[in-house]
Structure 1
């Protein structure tokens, strides 16, 4: 029984690690999307008034 419990704990640890990796990937993708969104918003909001600031 102790061996089975250990194996179960090992599986849970692997699952936990997989979820953590998945979460990190999603956070990275979210940051990239937010940057893309901010850039797109900047470029569209700048067009009507002309460009006040040069990049």
Structure 2
């Protein structure tokens, strides 16, 4: 019996390949939906980390 490649299988394989390529390019996974924080914004957790 032949197995057909469904649209879900195609999307899953494409996402996996894209993720592997991203890790190879950047050395780690890069968040796509994270909001960009300004370096100038006050961040108490970051300032306390240096103490």
For the criterion TM > 0.5, the same-fold answer is no
TM range (shorter): 0.3 to 0.5
> Which one scores higher on RCO, CA 8 angstroms, separation ≥ 6?
2
Per the normalisation by structure 1, the TM-score is 0.39
Per the normalisation by structure 2, the TM-score is 0.42
Highest CA radius of gyration, 1 or 2? 1
Higher helix share: 1
